[in-house]
Structure 1
């Protein structure tokens, strides 16, 4: 029996190493047809080949109309943005890139913050912080909003208790009135699906939860806020007339929860 247990432990360790070093999957979600979006999130320190060549090659093969990066391109303790910039430049050569800050960009060191801003400005990626832009794809007009939620929805000064929440009223103050038309919202935190829907978004793209870090029987185990069994962790969720697309992301330690590129057809 002890040998069987040892074998299982070894096999699990080998799989975990492979999952965290090499595996990059492509997951597909479809709610319509006509526009193909590559949804990326939570890369952090993970690298898929030199300068993320393997990641970019997989995205290019999908021929997306646009690329959404829903936050945490880098980790808060990063001391170099060279790979992030090269990755963004390559992604921008594939399709227009729209992105937002995640909680790590918001809490990056004071020394790195101006470098981060300058790095984004040097690329063609469109960074939206409580701003919006419009894109026309084959006659369909998408109004793309990027939400900067505020660090208090992720962590308070005293820890992870009593976190802020987001309401439709808060969104109205941050983003203004939701216009008529096809509105796509980028919001790093997926926990406020009801508010995003009530505000008026038709589609929302989120990440942050890393799929729960560990997935058992298809269920998320742990959120970055140290909460067990977080909701809205991975997949597509319906809130009223809105579809919430949640990526499990690509970085951080994970088990039975491989890094993913999500291809969304809307």
Structure 2
């Protein structure tokens, strides 16, 4: 009997060590996830890379390895979907270091995440100035026209929820103004909206002609279980509906990127840190 328990204990120990090693790998080895989106509104064809939820982590000195990986994808532009910093940490140096590198590769457009919003409230950080000083562009409840080979798409950045929890649809807030104007433009233009948190936008997106929404925030559900999906995500709780990957919102495609770092000590299991590569054709 004693031998039996020794064997069981050894098996458990081996499985635990293997799980830790797998978690370390998933936390630190960047996967490239490719997506394809059909453009039925014009002939614009382009490719862009999605970066999100870096949380001040570094891949190589000043994120040189991360920037090189992005460069290898040869993107037409780069989308940064928030949480490049950590809340309660006013230092934006790492965010600016990587944004400078990305902006040297291709036009780089950002929206804010909840960690940036919290720091702006706590420390008064001017993220518009901080981000724009790097050569990247913060789309703070605004949009731009991006043109390639004479064909244009609209890229919007929403830095707050369309109707935040304590707002009502009648409140005149910048996010509401952007949301309504962008949705109207989507009737005749191919539109890409950058927005950090998927859970607050999915239902409203079903009522629009917006073509693509790109989000982060969920960290891929932290742990991915086979046939089940993510285990937990901020604001969504256990077994989140929108963990990572593609979601069809009545014709609007939403892509949720698992991001590049964690804010908890629980390792990622079956859920590598990632960048997204999206091809529009």
Which residue matches 2:222? 213
Q: Which moved more, 1:218-227 or 1:181-190?
A: 218-227
Q: Show structure 1 runs of 5+ residues with no match.
A: 154-162
Alignment of 1:1-266 (within 5 A): 1-20=8-27, 22-32=28-38, 34-108=45-119, 110=121, 112-114=123-125, 116-150=127-161, 173-177=177-181, 178-179=184-185, 180-191=188-199, 192-217=201-226, 219-225=229-235, 227-252=237-262, 253-266=267-280
Q: Which moved more, 1:96-105 or 1:37-46?
A: 37-46
Inter-CA distance 256–152: structure 2 relative to 1 (3 Å threshold): farther
- SS of 1:186's equivalent? strand
- Mapped contact 1:201–1:242 kept (Cα < 8 A): yes
- SS of 2:99's equivalent? helix
Measured against aligned partners, the alpha-carbon deviations of 1:152-197 in whole angstroms (never above 9, x if no partner) come to: 95xxxxxxxxx56998x99654433321211111111112223124
- SS of 2:65's equivalent? helix
- The Cα of 1:109 is off from its aligned counterpart by 5.7
TM-score by length of 1: 0.87
TM-score by length of 2: 0.83
- Mapped contact 2:90–2:119 kept (Cα < 8 A): no
Q: Which has the larger radius of gyration?
A: 2
Aligned partners of 2:14 and 2:99: how far apart in 1?
42
- Mapped contact 1:106–1:151 kept (Cα < 8 A): no
- Mapped contact 1:23–1:259 kept (Cα < 8 A): yes
How many residue pairs get aligned? The number is 256
- SS of 2:109's equivalent? strand
